[in-house]
Amino acid sequence: MRYLIVFALLLISCSQNKDSAISVADFSEFINAEDCLLIDVRSAEEYVQGHIVGSATIDLYSPEFESKFMFIKPNQKMALYCNRGKRSEQAIYLLKDLGYTDIVQLNGGLNAWKSEGYEIVEE
């Protein structure tokens, strides 16, 4: 079942446009808004190796991914990221399909964030 979900996500991401991908500087500005949720869609293991300050982790490949959002309002401002941008792109597709409207992703992911000199937390 897990492989079927991963395969479906890969197919979806191939057809998904990247309108929601924003630059590192714009992402930094977006996440500093008072009401923005910052979400790392990588695994918990990846998260502890380094993440953006103030982010929560919700693993895209977790079977509970969609249910973790059920108490979040559809118009909630959210910023998603992963290592390079592929998983966050897939996550945005799923969340928009669930009715969420104000979502962006970090173009280039955490790799771009670090290469631009922005801070990360390593545990």
Taking the C-alpha atoms of residue 106 and residue 80, their distance in angstroms, rounded to an integer, is 7
CA dihedral over 32, 37, 42, 43, signed as positive or negative = positive
Our count of domains for the chain comes to 1
Q: Which domain, by its residues, includes 42? A: 2-115
Examine residue 30 and state whether it is found in any structural domain, yes or no. Answer: yes
- Report the CATH number at residue 13: 3.40.250.10
Token representation of residue 94:
């799923």
Taking the C-alpha atoms of residue 74 and residue 72, their distance in angstroms, rounded to an integer, is 6
Examine residue 14 and state whether it is found in any structural domain, yes or no. Answer: yes
Taking the C-alpha atoms of residue 14 and residue 4, their distance in angstroms, rounded to an integer, is 16
pLDDT digits (tens, 9 = 90+) for 29-65: 999 988 999 999 999 999 999 999 999 999 999 999 9
pLDDT digits (tens, 9 = 90+) for 83-112: 999 999 999 999 999 999 999 999 999 999
